[in-house]
Structures are given as structure tokens and as C-alpha cells.
């Protein structure tokens, strides 16, 4: 059954979408079956993979809408196949109306989790690209997820934003998903010409070091990372020898290692 990872930080422009795409493709290149879910009505992930979300009839927003109407939509009909061997549930502006529609829906936090039951057995990893807010759609993503990866932009001290994010994660753990784990904080947009990345890491270590892993992989600022998304490609397809490609490859390996360790632990506890 797939491990579901939400890429989440309510701060905008920290590299969530870029990470969802390149981690997803990295996992696929390692032989894993991967589904990406675009959880942002801005549909940056859908666009970065080469589709125009607004021209698509089927989307995450439509699936969630149908689910609130007591239909059981066929999730598989909304899955697109990308040439880099990954699948995508796309998004478009339809998703933004869900934010208010969900307020009165039954089991409103669990709509996405319920939808995903249909496809969890078809994949090894499902990666959800969250939008930059902690509203109902993001709560749905966290409720559907086994774990969270938090990209943090190395150029700003994230203290206050991190506190809000941790509060939301705790709220989800207490109410709708007590198994939610934090896989780790990923430093993104790291500029090695400054000491800021180190300062930011030290701040996070001091405040959360006991609870949260900081990935060894760090994603450098590199024009190629932005260019790849504009070209509708992963960084591996665009320039596999570039620094961001190496960094996302290292992240992928860490994520697979975490997943395997968890699986061994689960199997051990079942046989015991
Ligand atoms: N390593 C990188 N080096 C340079 N530019 C990058 C890098 N990663 C992402 N970018 C660019 O920075 C911008 C923000 O990245 P991205 O869209 O991944 O962030 P986000 O957290 O998903 O943003 P949002 O909160 O708006 O969804 C984009 O223009 C992207 O192409
Ligand atoms: Mg994004």
C-alpha cells in the first residue's frame, strides 16, 4: 500500500511544488510507482508537468465536489499519465471553491483520504503538493497523509510560520489522523554564498531538533530548477548532472530509506 507524503508549508514560494515534482520523479526513477496530487488551486504542479488545468474536466476539485455530493466518483478516471513515468491528479480553480463548500460537508476533513482509498494499492508513493495556506484543503491533505515533508526556504528565519504549521499538524494528529509523522525539514533555495542556511538550520535544530529530522540533502538555489518546471520537465530530464538534480536524487534516497525502515518496523511488530 502506498505511503502518502504531503509536501506542506503555508509560506508561499518555499519550493513545495518543485520538491513534489522532483521527489515524485526521483522515486519513479528508482522503480517506484508514484502518484502526484496537485493540492493547490493555482495548479502550479499541473502546469509544471505540462498540462493546462483549466482546460481539464477532471480534477481534484471536481473529485472532491462529487464526493461531498454523496457520489462515489471513480478516482482513476481523473488520473493523467506523464511521460516521466509518474501519474498526476491535476488541479484547477475548481479546487478553490471547495475551501468554502467543505465547511458544511460531512466528514469534511476526510474527503481526500476517502477518495485515495480507491488508488492506494496501485502505488508505492503518493505525493501531495499542498497550497500555501492551512485551510480545509491542506487539512484534508494532512488527514490523508502518512507523513509530511516541510520545505523551508533557507533565506528566512521561519520561526513564527513553523509554530503555526506545528500547531496544525498537532491538531490533525489529535482529531483526524493520529498516525501522521513528520519525515523531516528540507532546506530549499540554499545560497551557499551566505551563512543564512546554517543559521536557519541551527534555529530549527534548537527549537525542534529533538522531534524533527533535517534532511542531509539540501536544495541549492539554481536557475536550472526553475527552468525545468517551465519546460514541463523534472530536473532529471532537464539536466541530470546539475546540482539541483544531484540534491533531489539525494533527497529521494533519504525518503526511500525512511520508508524502508518504517516498513521493516511495521513488519516486525506484526510478526511479534
Ligand atoms: N532550487 C531552486 N532554485 C531556484 N529557483 C527555484 C528553486 N526551487 C524552486 N524555484 C523557483 O522558485 C519559485 C517558487 O518555487 P515553488 O513553486 O516550488 O514553491 P511553492 O512553495 O510551491 O510556492 P507556492 O507557495 O506559491 O505554491 C518558482 O518560480 C520556482 O521555479
Ligand atoms: Mg506550489
Atom of ligand 1 nearest to the CA of 219: 1
Identify which of 19, 49, 226 to mutate to test ligand 1's pocket (most ligand atoms within 8 A of the CB). 226
- On whether residue 269 sits in a domain, the answer given is no
Identify which of 17, 153, 234 to mutate to test ligand 1's pocket (most ligand atoms within 8 A of the CB). 17
**In this structure, which residue's CA is closest to atom 2 in ligand 1?**
221
Q: Is the pLDDT reported for residue 34 higher than 80?
A: yes
Q: Is the pLDDT reported for residue 157 higher than 80?
A: no
Atom of ligand 1 nearest to the CA of 230: 31
- On whether residue 23 sits in a domain, the answer given is yes
- On whether residue 270 sits in a domain, the answer given is no
- On whether residue 19 sits in a domain, the answer given is yes
CA of 74 relative to ligand 1 center, distance in Å: 32
Q: Is the pLDDT reported for residue 138 higher than 90?
A: yes
For 57-80, write each residue's pLDDT tens digit: 999 999 999 999 977 899 999 999
Cβ–ligand 1 distance for 39 under 6 Å, the answer no
Cβ–ligand 1 distance for 186 under 6 Å, the answer no
- On whether residue 266 sits in a domain, the answer given is no
Q: Taking residues 104-112, what's their average pLDDT?
A: 89
Cβ–ligand 1 distance for 132 under 6 Å, the answer yes
Atom of ligand 1 nearest to the CA of 190: 1
Q: Taking residues 6-20, what's their average pLDDT?
A: 97
Q: Taking residues 115-138, what's their average pLDDT?
A: 97
**In this structure, which residue's CA is closest to atom 9 in ligand 1?**
15
Q: Taking residues 111-140, what's their average pLDDT?
A: 97
Cβ–ligand 1 distance for 221 under 6 Å, the answer yes
Q: How does the average pLDDT of the chain come out, rounded?
A: 93
Cβ–ligand 1 distance for 62 under 6 Å, the answer no
For 217-253, write each residue's pLDDT tens digit: 999 999 999 999 999 999 999 999 999 999 999 999 9
- On whether residue 167 sits in a domain, the answer given is yes
Q: Is the pLDDT reported for residue 158 higher than 80?
A: no
Secondary structure of residue 270 in the 3-state scheme:
helix
CA of 173 relative to ligand 2 center, distance in Å: 24
Domain residue limits at 101: 3-261
Q: What is the DSSP string of 118-158?
A: TTGGG-SEEEEEE-SS-SHHHHHHHHH-SEEEEEEETTS--
Residue 194's domain is classified under what CATH number? 3.40.50.300
Atom of ligand 1 nearest to the CA of 223: 4
* pLDDT at residue number 200: 85
CA of 28 relative to ligand 1 center, distance in Å: 21
pLDDT confidence tier of residue 178, bands split at 50, 70 and 90? very high
- On whether residue 74 sits in a domain, the answer given is yes
**Location of C-alpha cell 508513493:** 125
- What own/partner pairs with CB < 8 Å and gap ≥ 24 does 57-60 have? 58/90, 59/89, 59/90, 59/91, 59/92, 59/94, 59/95, 60/89, 60/90, 60/91, 60/95, 60/112
Number of separate domains in the chain: 1
* pLDDT at residue number 79: 98
* pLDDT at residue number 159: 61
CA of 153 relative to ligand 2 center, distance in Å: 13
Give the chain's radius of gyration (CA, Å): 18
Q: Which ligand is nearest to the CA of 10?
A: 1
Residue 85 sits at φ, ψ, to 5 deg, of 60, 30
Amino acid at each position: 500500500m502506498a505511503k502518502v507524503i504531503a509536501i506542506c508549508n503555508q509560506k508561499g514560494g518555499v519550493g513545495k511544488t518543485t520538491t513534489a515534482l522532483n521527489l515524485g520523479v526521483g522515486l519513479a526513477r528508482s522503480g517506484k510507482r508514484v502518484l502526484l496530487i496537485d493540492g493547490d488551486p493555482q495548479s502550479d504542479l499541473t502546469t509544471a508537468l505540462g498540462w493546462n488545468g483549466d482546460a481539464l474536466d477532471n480534477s481534484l476539485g471536481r473529485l472532491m465536489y462529487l464526493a461531498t455530493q454523496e457520489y462515489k466518483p471513480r478516482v482513476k478516471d481523473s488520473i493523467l499519465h506523464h511521460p516521466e513515468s509518474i501519474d498526476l491528479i491535476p488541479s484547477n480553480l475548481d479546487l478553490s471553491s471547495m475551501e468554502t463548500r467543505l465547511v458544511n460537508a460531512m466528514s469534511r476533513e476526510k474527503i481526500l483520504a476517502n477518495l485515495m482509498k480507491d488508488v492506494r494499492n496501485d502505488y508505492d508513493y503518493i505525493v501531495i503538493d499542498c497550497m500555501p495556506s492551512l485551510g480545509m484543503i491542506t487539512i484534508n491533505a494532512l488527514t490523508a497523509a502518512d507523513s509530511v515533508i516541510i520545505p523551508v526556504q533557507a533565506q528566512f528565519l521561519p520561526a513564527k510560520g513553523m509554530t503555526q504549521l506545528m500547531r496544525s499538524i498537532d491538531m490533525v494528529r489529535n482529531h483526524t489522523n493520529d498516525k501522521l509523522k513528520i519525515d523531516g525539514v528540507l532546506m530549499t533555495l540554499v545560497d551557499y554564498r551566505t551563512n543564512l542556511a546554517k543559521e536557519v538550520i541551527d534555529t530549527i535544530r534548537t527549537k525542534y531538533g529533538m522531534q524533527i529530522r533535517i534532511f542531509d540533502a539540501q536544495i541549492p538555489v539554481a536557475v536550472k530548477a526553475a527552468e525545468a518546471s517551465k519546460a514541463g520537465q523534472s530536473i532529471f530530464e532537464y539536466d541530470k548532472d546539475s546540482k539541483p538534480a544531484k540534491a533531489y536524487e539525494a533527497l529521494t534516497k533519504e525518503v526511500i530509506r525512511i520508508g524502508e525502515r518504517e516498513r521493516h518496523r511495521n513488519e516486525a511488530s506484526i510478526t511479534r
